[in-house]
């Protein structure tokens, strides 16, 4: 029989006790039942299969989607004396690993999902006893998940060939829909779902529209000591921002997939060792890095999903000390994301749309950010947290239904091909050559927005783009979409957060 979990926890891992749901997951796995553990990043997922792998006879097969991640895990496991190996296309010790497996000398064997479909590999698995299947990043099995990988669909037939070997699926990021799908796809019963608390109370969330992103990120750096990560959406954006921020005297390094691997390795190592370094990176940075004292994470553009946002901001403050997360978003981020939806396979578009709507809800809310996040992960949080921008200084909310109707009407009447600059001129009755040339001064919408309302035109346009009622075409012209007709007919109420005064005059969504 297997060894006592607490003594393995102490002897092998050197920890004094379990954290959160770890004990519950480990107990269920040791009793041989199929389980899906949803635990946020940093909650200690690896231990929930590594400990059973050590405690139970036989080898635990770990399915993992990324070779780099596997090698990180391998190093960590070997460091505490666990007998582990990876079997991937880049390993040149494959024969030795196979021999060790056959002799029953491995507690852990890491493989990529595509191996599961290979006849040869399945035969190898039969050659020695298995203790457990651990399926890491299990959301990859679901088309509802934010990172579907067809290879994960190959797992089920392999798992079913070993009905006596328990399955432990692990993920940090799964909304209710995705969770149900993972259970179904991997043959795990409903009562096998164990969800850890997602709240990260020491992280303070700030979300604001982008005006001049360099200036905004500089302001964060100026008031925020300690190591931090700034996420930029593209490689070019990373380079640009790193250069500008570096000129301010703080040590700043770039990190993205286009850099030489040696430079990447060096920059990452410098960051991990530093107490003040700022890394400007694409989202790949941070995976597999265990740096507990990251004090801030900045998103200079919209993340891919709420899951992505939670995961990336979750790299801050793992030591439990106060940390902040800033997100600067623009209407153009939503425009790009919505146009990309058109490019994915038809049956996945609804999922993508739902994901984007959830993000729009997070950035547009006048309420508590944490409450939106936690509700997304299926929790029932209090209405206010006291540690996000909106809780700390509740924003002014305006009923913008009338401005939204006038704006949509102007877009429609000018032929759905002009950008917000032109529409604003028409609505405010500007004396402008282009407006008169096109005879837009003859339209009923010319000059119908004045006074205080004029300041709401751009924020409303941003809000309508975020919720998909307005979309920008590739030439920057605005078009009606989504529920625009209901808004025009006065059937939907539009509320917006009134931005602080200084932002009103700046160009919407302009970047660095």
The contact set with Zn ion (CB under 5 A) reads 368, 370, 385, 388, 391
Interatomic CA distance for residues 59 and 126, integer angstroms: 11
339: Cβ–Cβ under 8 A, 6 or more apart, which residues? 471, 474
Of ligand ADP, Zn ion, none, which one does residue 39 interact with (CB within 5 to 8 Å by kind)? ligand ADP
Q: What is the spatial distance between Cα 408 and Cα 284, in angstroms, rounded to a whole number?
A: 38
- The backbone torsions φ and ψ at residue 316, rounded to the nearest 5 degrees and listed phi first, read -90, 145
State the binding partner of 215 from Zn ion, ligand ADP, none, CB within 5 to 8 A by kind: none
Residue choice 24, 46, 117, 274 for contact with ligand ADP (CB under 6 A): 46
401 is a contact residue toward ligand ADP (CB under 6 A): no
CB-nearer residue toward ligand ADP: 147 or 357: 147
- Reported as type and span, the H/E element at residue 109 is strand 108-111
Comparison of 57 and 386: residue with beta carbon closer to Zn ion: 386
Per DSSP, the residues of 374-395 read: HHHTT----S--SSBHHHHSPP
User: Which is nearer to ligand ADP, 39 or 84 (by Cβ)?
Assistant: 39
**Residue 63 found at the interface with ligand ADP (CB under 6 A):** no
Three-state DSSP at 149 gives coil
Nearer to ligand ADP, 42 or 187 (CB): 42
Which residues 6+ apart lie within 8 Å of 395 measured at CB? Answer: 366, 497, 498
How far from chain centre, in Å, is Cα 511? 21
Residues between 261 and 290 that touch ligand ADP (CB under 6 A)? 290
Nearer to ligand ADP, 41 or 185 (CB): 41
CA nearest to 206, candidates 190, 192, 193, 224: 224
75: contact with ligand ADP by CB under 6 A? no
Nearer to Zn ion, 369 or 405 (CB): 369
CB within 8 A of 208, min separation 6: which ones?
216, 326, 327, 328, 329, 389, 499
Contact call for residue 43 and ligand ADP (CB under 6 A): yes
* Neighbouring-strand partners of residue 193: 36
Q: Tell me which H or E stretch contains 336.
A: helix 331-341
- C-alpha separations of 367 from 303, 329, 358, 386 in Å: 20, 17, 14, 11
Count CB-CB contacts under 10 A for residue 307.
Answer: 24
Question: Quick one: which of 42, 58, 361, 476 contacts ligand ADP (CB under 6 A)?
Answer: 42
Q: Which of 5, 12, 18, 140 binds ligand ADP (CB under 6 A)?
A: 18
The interface partner of residue 290, options being Zn ion, ligand ADP, none and the CB cut-off 5 to 8 Å by kind, is ligand ADP
Q: What are phi and psi of 284, to 5 degrees?
A: -60, -25
CB under 5 to 8 A by kind: which of ligand ADP, Zn ion, none does 42 bind? ligand ADP
Q: Which of the listed partners (ligand ADP, Zn ion, none) does 370 bind, with a CB threshold of 5 to 8 Å by partner kind?
A: Zn ion
**Residue closest to ligand ADP when measured from CB atoms:** 44
CA distances for 298 relative to 1, 152, 287, angstroms: 49, 32, 16
Nearest to 299 by CA among 237, 243, 374, 256: 237
Position 41 contacts ligand ADP (CB under 6 A) = yes
Q: How far apart are CA 216 and CA 326, in angstroms?
A: 10
Q: Which does 385 bind (CB under 5 to 8 A by kind): Zn ion, ligand ADP, none?
A: Zn ion
Which does residue 271 bind out of ligand ADP, Zn ion, none, counting CB within 5 to 8 angstroms by kind? none
Q: Which of 8, 30, 38, 47 lies at the binding interface for ligand ADP (CB under 6 A)?
A: 47
Q: Compute how many residues bind ligand ADP; rule: CB under 6 A.
A: 13
Answer for which of 3, 6, 15, 58 binds ligand ADP (CB under 6 A) is 15
Q: Is 35 in the site for ligand ADP (CB under 6 A)?
A: no
Task: Say if residues 481 and 334 touch (Cβ distance below 8 Å).
Answer: no
Stretch that binds ligand ADP, among 16-24, 111-119, 256-264, 497-505 (CB under 6 A): 16-24
Least distance (Å) from ligand ADP to the CB of residue 47?
4
Q: What does the binding site for ligand ADP look like in residue numbers (CB under 6 A)?
A: 15, 18-19, 22, 39, 41-47, 290
């Amino acid at each position: 029989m297997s060894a006592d979990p607490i003594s393995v926890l102490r002897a092998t891992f050197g920890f004094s006790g379990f954290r959160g749901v770890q004990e519950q997951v480990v107990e269920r796995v040791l009793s041989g039942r199929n389980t899906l553990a949803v635990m946020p990043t940093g909650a200690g997922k690896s231990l929930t299969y590594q400990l059973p792998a050590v405690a139970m006879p036989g080898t635990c097969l770990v399915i993992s989607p990324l070779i780099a991640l596997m090698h990180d895990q391998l190093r960590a496991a070997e460091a505490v004396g666990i007998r582990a190996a990876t079997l991937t296309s880049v390993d040149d010790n494959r024969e030795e690993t196979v021999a060790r497996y056959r002799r029953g000398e491995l507690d852990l064997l890491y493989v990529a999902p595509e191996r599961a479909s290979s006849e040869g590999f399945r035969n190898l698995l039969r050659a020695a006893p298995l203790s457990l299947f651990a399926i890491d990043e299990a959301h990859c099995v679901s088309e509802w998940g934010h990172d579907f990988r067809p290879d994960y669909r190959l797992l089920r037939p392999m798992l079913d060939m070993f009905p006596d070997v328990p399955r432990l699926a692990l993920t940090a990021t799964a909304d209710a829909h995705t969770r149900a799908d993972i259970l179904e796809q991997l043959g795990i019963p409903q009562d096998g779902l164990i969800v850890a608390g997602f709240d990260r109370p020491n992280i303070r969330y700030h979300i604001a529209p982008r005006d001049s992103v360099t200036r905004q990120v500089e302001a964060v750096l100026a008031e925020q000591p300690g190591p931090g990560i700034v996420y930029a959406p593209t490689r070019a954006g990373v380079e640009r921002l790193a250069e500008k921020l570096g000129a301010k005297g703080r040590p700043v390094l770039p990190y993205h997939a286009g850099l030489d691997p040696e430079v990447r390795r060096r920059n990452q190592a410098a960051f991990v060792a530093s107490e003040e370094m700022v890394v400007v990176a694409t989202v790949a940075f941070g995976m597999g890095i265990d740096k507990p004292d990251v004090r801030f994470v900045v998103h200079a553009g919209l993340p891919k999903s709420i899951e992505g946002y939670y995961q990336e901001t979750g790299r801050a403050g793992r030591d439990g000390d106060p940390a902040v997360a800033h997100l600067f978003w623009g209407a153009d981020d939503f425009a790009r994301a919505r146009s990309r939806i058109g490019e994915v396979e038809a049956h996945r578009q609804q999922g993508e749309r739902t994901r984007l709507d959830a993000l729009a809800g997070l950035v547009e809310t006048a309420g508590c950010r944490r409450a939106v996040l936690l509700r997304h992960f299926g929790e029932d949080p209090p209405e206010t947290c006291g540690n996000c921008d909106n809780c700390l200084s509740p924003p002014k909310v305006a009923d913008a239904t009338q401005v939204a109707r006038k704006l949509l009407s102007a877009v429609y009447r000018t032929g759905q091909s002009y950008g917000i600059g032109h529409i604003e001129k028409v609505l405010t009755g500007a004396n402008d050559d282009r407006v008169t040339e096109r005879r837009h001064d003859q339209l009923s919408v010319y000059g119908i927005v004045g006074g205080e309302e004029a300041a709401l035109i751009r924020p409303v346009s941003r809000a309508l783009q975020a919720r998909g009622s307005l979309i920008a075409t590739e030439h920057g012209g605005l078009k009606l979409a989504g529920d625009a007709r209901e808004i025009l007919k006065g059937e939907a109420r539009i509320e917006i957060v009134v931005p602080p005064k200084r932002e009103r005059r700046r160009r919407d969504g302009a970047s660095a």
